[in-house]
């Protein structure tokens, strides 16, 4: 419950700080937040899947299985997060260039309009 409350507060603070840069910045923060939440959900699912396996084996005093499960979970999560990071990094460049190509001429136009006033 506390984590959800802090998440809401941090989102409000980020939106307030992004509002200084306009609606486009708030929209960009929203998209980044959605992507982050998706990746975080996968990481959280991997961790929550590990918990019952480790507790059952620890309770049965099968410590070697706990170690195996730990290393398997660690490797699986690192590989999964590396794949997600690679996809995000590869697609980020095209997203950034597309948004700059679309928004920069408009931004420059508005800057010129303001300077003429």
Threshold 0.85, pTM exceeds:
no
Give 41: exposed, middle or buried? Use CB within 10 Å, 0-12, 13-18, 19+: exposed
Q: How do the pLDDT tens digits run along the chain, 117 residues long?
A: 787 788 889 888 888 888 888 888 888 888 888 888 888 888 889 989 999 999 999 999 999 999 999 999 999 999 998 888 888 777 766 655 555 555 555 555 555 555 555
CA dihedral 71, 75, 80, 81 (to 10 degrees): 90
Q: CA 21, 27, 30 angle in degrees (round to 5)?
A: 120
């Amino acid at each position: 419950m506390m984590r959800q409350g802090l998440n809401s507060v941090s989102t409000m603070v980020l939106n307030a700080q992004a509002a200084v840069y306009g609606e486009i910045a708030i929209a960009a923060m929203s998209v980044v937040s959605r992507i982050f939440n998706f990746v975080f959900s996968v990481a959280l699912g991997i961790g929550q899947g590990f918990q019952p396996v480790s507790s059952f084996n620890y309770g049965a005093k099968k410590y070697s299985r706990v170690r195996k499960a730990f290393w398997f979970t660690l490797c699986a999560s690192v590989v999964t997060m590396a794949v997600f990071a690679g996809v995000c990094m590869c697609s980020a460049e095209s997203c950034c260039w597309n948004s700059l190509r679309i928004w920069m001429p408009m931004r420059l136009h508005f800057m010129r309009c303001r300077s003429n006033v």
